[in-house]
Structure 1
Amino acid sequence: MNNQVWFVTGASKGLGLSLAQTLLRKGYRVAATSRRREELVAAIGETATNFLPLTLNILDEAHVAEAIAATVAHFGTVDVVVNNAGYGLVGAIEELTDAEARANFDINVFGTLNVIRQALPQMRSQGKGHIFNIASIGGFTGAFPAFGIYCATKFAVHGFSESLAQEVKPFGIGVTVVSPGYFRTDFLGASLGLPAREIPEYANVRAVQSLHQHDYNGRQAGDPDKAAAAMIQVLEDGTAPLHLFLGEDAYQLAEQKIAAVQADLDAVRPLATATGFEHA
């Protein structure tokens, strides 16, 4: 199993870095990408037999194709793809500009799709593979004022991951959408975009923004090394689910969402289900 080749995007920091380091310690072969190769080398080390650091712009599909080809040329295959590259975005829906919203979708959604499109031909040809799409608990529940656009990008990741799982199952390829809760990385610092324009009336948005930037940041309960180990273990054990929630907080928030949806279903069931045509 640890002879597998993992292709990890956004690996110079956060969960991606923890994953790449854990994989290398366990003897896996790893192609790790970042916008700046020097950051990867500084964080992980120079090229080794089982480590290939790559510069990657995930918005350039031709560049993505080159990175996948370089991985196959170096290691002979790609077994596991981890779409981890992404960033957070704070701001009320009304505050964020079209450009700010689209930029977040470009990286979090379309960048991930670029990698998937370029990796699948190799996986299909070998008749096996696994794709981890890193979403967020904010992709399952959107009950976070100030994170509407970010949540929308991660809801999109959930949606296309579920469809993708059905599409590639006949080829022996598995898909897991990962929904972490709060893990102690720099996500709430260097990886958090802020609105260029703030509307003073949104006191609740500013409160949530401040809470994440100043109270949660650096105090998150989740250990990213343990999250990385859990991802590796479910694949090693053959138990990788379609939906992988990571962290006690993620479980609590997911269960609250499920209960809330069930309550909404039950509240109007007779009215909402009596909407078909009358049968003679």
Structure 2
Amino acid sequence: MDKKIWLITGTSKGFGRVWAEAALKRGDKVVATARNINSLNDLVAIYGNAILPIELDVNNRQNCFDAVEKAKAHFGKIDILINNAGFGHFGYVEEISESEAREQIETNVFGSLWMIQAVLPLMRNQNSGHIMQVSSIGGVMAFPSLGIYHASKWAVEGLCDSLSQEVSQFGIHVSLIEPTGYATDWGTSSAKHSNPIEAYNGIREMMKANAGKTPMGNPNATGEAILKLSDSANPPLRMFLGTMPFMMIEPTYDKRLATWKEWQAVSENAQ
């Protein structure tokens, strides 16, 4: 199998780090981006010229295009883009400030969009490529206290669904990666929080009481799944990571279908 060239955003830790190492270990080459490329020094020491660290803030559109140009100049092509950079914001909808909302959407949605736009001309010219967008189980269902995060992930779900229909003619695949909860720092040190409003203390305490009851996945166990996704000749548009998502999403979708059917006569009368 030909060795692949990956461009992965947010590789300093978490999923991005795990997936970069998985690709490097099997002999592929990786363009690894991070806000602080010193966090990648140990990978450079191990893998040498197989890894190209690039400092990148995905909120800066021009930086995204420059990163793709550097990757192309260094490795000649990009086979896989993984849009992994992003963060979670906790806050009940009434609590979210304007600056917090804009920052969440700026990074999770626009940062992903800029990277997709930057890589598409190269992949079109190659007549091949695979764009993997990190979404979440929170991109297909929702929970209290994560409204603006869900808004960002539902946005990239719609964006990439449309994208997949637009670029299949160029031999480009698109996959949305939808993890369950994993033992990364997504919900701890990397998360941001709105100032609480007292009226929501009841549901807040209920959520805290339920926290920890769902088993967390091991991020190191996800590398094989991502490699299999990258090697598939017909990759899925959506792929769950972990044991929980399907168990959670099946009853959610059953309930949606039941509600739509219940209201079908009303809907049809509105034609």
Scaled to the shorter chain, the TM-score interval is over 0.9
Q: Is the 8 A contact 2:80 2:230 kept in 1?
A: no
Structure 2 residue aligned with 1:235: 230
Q: 2:217 aligns with which of 219, 222, 244?
A: 222
Tell me the TM-score normalized by structure 2.
0.94
Q: How far apart in 2 are the matches of 1:211 and 1:246?
A: 25
**Partner of 1:45: helix, strand, or coil?**
helix
Q: Is the 8 A contact 1:92 1:205 kept in 2?
A: no
After superposing the two structures, state which structure 1 stretch, 198-207 or 78-87, moved more.
198-207
Structure 2 residue aligned with 1:91: 91
- With over 3 angstroms needed to count, the CA separation of the structure-2 counterparts of 1:209 and 1:97, relative to structure 1, is farther
**Partner of 2:81: helix, strand, or coil?**
strand
Matched, 1:110 2:105: no
Q: How far apart in 2 are the matches of 1:120 and 1:211?
A: 45
Structure 2 letter corresponding to 1:229: E
Note the C-alpha offset of 1:41. 1.9
Structure 2 residue aligned with 1:200: 198
Q: How far apart in 2 are the matches of 1:193 and 1:138?
A: 16
Structure 2 residue aligned with 1:270: 265
Q: How far apart in 2 are the matches of 1:211 and 1:87?
A: 23
Structure 1 residue aligned with 2:26: 26
**Partner of 2:212: helix, strand, or coil?**
helix
Structure 1 letter corresponding to 2:33: T
Q: How far apart in 2 are the matches of 1:242 and 1:189?
A: 29
Tell me the TM-score normalized by structure 1.
0.91
Structure 2 residue aligned with 1:62: 62
**Partner of 1:201: helix, strand, or coil?**
helix
After superposition, residues 1-280 of structure 1 pair within 5 angstroms as: 1-42=1-42, 44-46=43-45, 48-142=48-142, 144-195=143-194, 197-207=195-205, 210=208, 215=212, 220-276=215-271
Q: How far apart in 1 are the matches of 2:77 and 2:202?
A: 49
Structure 2 letter corresponding to 1:228: G
Q: How far apart in 2 are the matches of 1:252 and 1:122?
A: 38
Q: Is the 8 A contact 2:6 2:80 kept in 1?
A: yes
The C-alpha deviation readout for 1:222-271, integer Å capped at 9, x for no partner, is 12222221121022132410011111111112212211111111211122
**Partner of 2:222: helix, strand, or coil?**
helix
Q: How far apart in 1 are the matches of 2:37 and 2:189?
A: 18
- With over 3 angstroms needed to count, the CA separation of the structure-2 counterparts of 1:237 and 1:209, relative to structure 1, is same
Note the C-alpha offset of 1:205. 4.6
Q: Is the 8 A contact 2:54 2:67 kept in 1?
A: yes
Q: Which runs of 5+ in 1 are unaligned?
A: none
Q: Is the 8 A contact 1:146 1:205 kept in 2?
A: no
Q: How far apart in 2 are the matches of 1:153 and 1:211?
A: 26
**Partner of 1:86: helix, strand, or coil?**
coil
Q: Is the 8 A contact 1:184 1:220 kept in 2?
A: no
**Partner of 2:239: helix, strand, or coil?**
strand
Q: How far apart in 1 are the matches of 2:28 and 2:264?
A: 51
Note the C-alpha offset of 1:123. 0.4
- With over 3 angstroms needed to count, the CA separation of the structure-2 counterparts of 1:258 and 1:23, relative to structure 1, is same
Q: Runs of 4 or more off by more than 6 Å in structure 1? A: none
- With over 3 angstroms needed to count, the CA separation of the structure-2 counterparts of 1:79 and 1:215, relative to structure 1, is same
Identical counterparts, % of pairs: 33
Q: Which runs of 5+ in 2 are unaligned?
A: none
Q: How many residues align?
A: 270
Q: How far apart in 2 are the matches of 1:208 and 1:121?
A: 48
Note the C-alpha offset of 1:209. 5.9
Note the C-alpha offset of 1:206. 2.3
**Partner of 1:222: helix, strand, or coil?**
coil
The C-alpha deviation readout for 1:41-65, integer Å capped at 9, x for no partner, is 24x3346121111110111111111
Structure 1 letter corresponding to 2:100: E
**Partner of 1:49: helix, strand, or coil?**
helix
- With over 3 angstroms needed to count, the CA separation of the structure-2 counterparts of 1:204 and 1:122, relative to structure 1, is farther
Note the C-alpha offset of 1:7. 0.3
Q: What RMSD over aligned residues (CA atoms) do the two structures have, in Å?
A: 1.7
Note the C-alpha offset of 1:220. 4.6
**Partner of 2:132: helix, strand, or coil?**
strand
**Partner of 1:174: helix, strand, or coil?**
strand
